[in-house]
Amino acid sequence: MLETLRGRVIGVAGWKDSGKTLVVERLVASLRNKGLVVGTVKHVHEALSLQPAAKDSARHLDAGAHTAIALGEGLVLLGKHTGEDLETVVSCYLPLSDVIVVEGFKHAEIPKIVALSGSDGILEETENVVAVVCRDKRPKGYPAYAADEIENLVDSLFENEILKPPERRAALLVNGKPVPVNEFVQASLAGVVRGFITALHDIEEPSTIQLTVKL
């Protein structure tokens, strides 16, 4: 296991048309419903082609930029000249994600869910399998779930400490959606709110504080 990813990452492996992208989508939705900030990484074997609107970013890369970002409506594209290992990509680009869902990378040293479509040999080729999502026959020796049982699968990942809840001093939700905040902002938020609370009379020393502000 890559130590910096322990408890923060889960992989999804499977052959083409096995339903692995559907599994990723449902994992992300379930984790988001738990108030977690989720990042994803997808492994592709072929060279990526950029949309016309992002071709200037490709020119930046051709000119020698290490990384080019095309920022648009709801989309950030990251382009790199050379391949990077999974741990480096996560550390550089997804540091504020509570959980990272990885599609592909079947040989990476991370726990994985296999999207199974029949007896296709993927289990024998995939390392660190912790669960299987299958359409039909459930293989022996692995916890198995249907595609509509992903929430149960996510619960089991936390119960078995394959994923671990993030340790936060402060969590921020705006309009019900979690907003990633770094450790400095967490500490600042916690300190300011605690200062207001402890200034009140007849309030015992707080260990946790929940605050909702309606604007």
Q: Kindly report the number of other CB atoms within 10 A of residue 116's CB atom.
A: 25
Alpha carbon distance 204, 201 (integer Å): 9
For residue 66, give the 3-state DSSP assignment: coil
Per the CB < 8 A criterion, the answer to whether 34 and 28 are in contact is no
Alpha carbon distance 73, 60 (integer Å): 20
Residue 53's pLDDT is 55
Range in 33-42, 44-53, 147-156 the model is least confident about: 44-53
Alpha carbon distance 19, 98 (integer Å): 24
- Whether 76 shows a pLDDT value over 70: the answer reads no
Residue 47's pLDDT is 54
- Whether 58 shows a pLDDT value over 70: the answer reads no
* Predicted TM-score of the model (pTM): 0.71
Minimal CA–CA distance to 207: which of 160, 150, 175, 169? 169
Arithmetic mean of pLDDT over the chain? 80
Pick the more confident residue, 101 or 78.
101
- pLDDT-above-70 percentage for the chain: 78
What number of helices (H) and strands (E) belong to the chain? 6, 10
Query: Once rounded to an integer, what is the mean pLDDT over residues 124-133?
Result: 90
Residue in the block written with tokens 């459930």:
138
Pick the more confident residue, 119 or 147.
147
Residue 6's pLDDT is 81
* Encoded tokens for 137: 């026959």
pLDDT digit string (tens) for 138-166? 778 889 999 899 999 999 999 999 999 87
Range in 23-27, 37-41, 70-74 the model is least confident about: 70-74
Minimal CA–CA distance to 11: which of 81, 80, 155, 110? 110
Query: Once rounded to an integer, what is the mean pLDDT over residues 82-93?
Result: 70
- Band (pLDDT 50/70/90 cuts) for residue 62 is confident
Q: What are phi and psi of 154, to 5 degrees?
A: -60, -45
* Encoded tokens for 187: 């500490």
Q: Which residues pair with 10 in a beta bridge?
A: 101
Dihedral of CA atoms 43, 44, 49, 50 in degrees, nearest 10, equals -10
Residue ranges and CATH numbers for the domains of the chain are 3-159 (3.40.50.300), 168-215 (no CATH)
Q: Residues near 11 by Cβ (< 8 Å), separated by ≥ 6?
A: 101, 102, 103, 104, 105, 106, 108, 110, 111, 112, 113, 128
Query: Once rounded to an integer, what is the mean pLDDT over residues 201-207?
Result: 80
Per the CB < 8 A criterion, the answer to whether 94 and 100 are in contact is yes
Residue 26's pLDDT is 93
Q: Is residue 161 packed enough to be buried (19+ CB in 10 Å), middle (13-18) or exposed (0-12)?
A: exposed
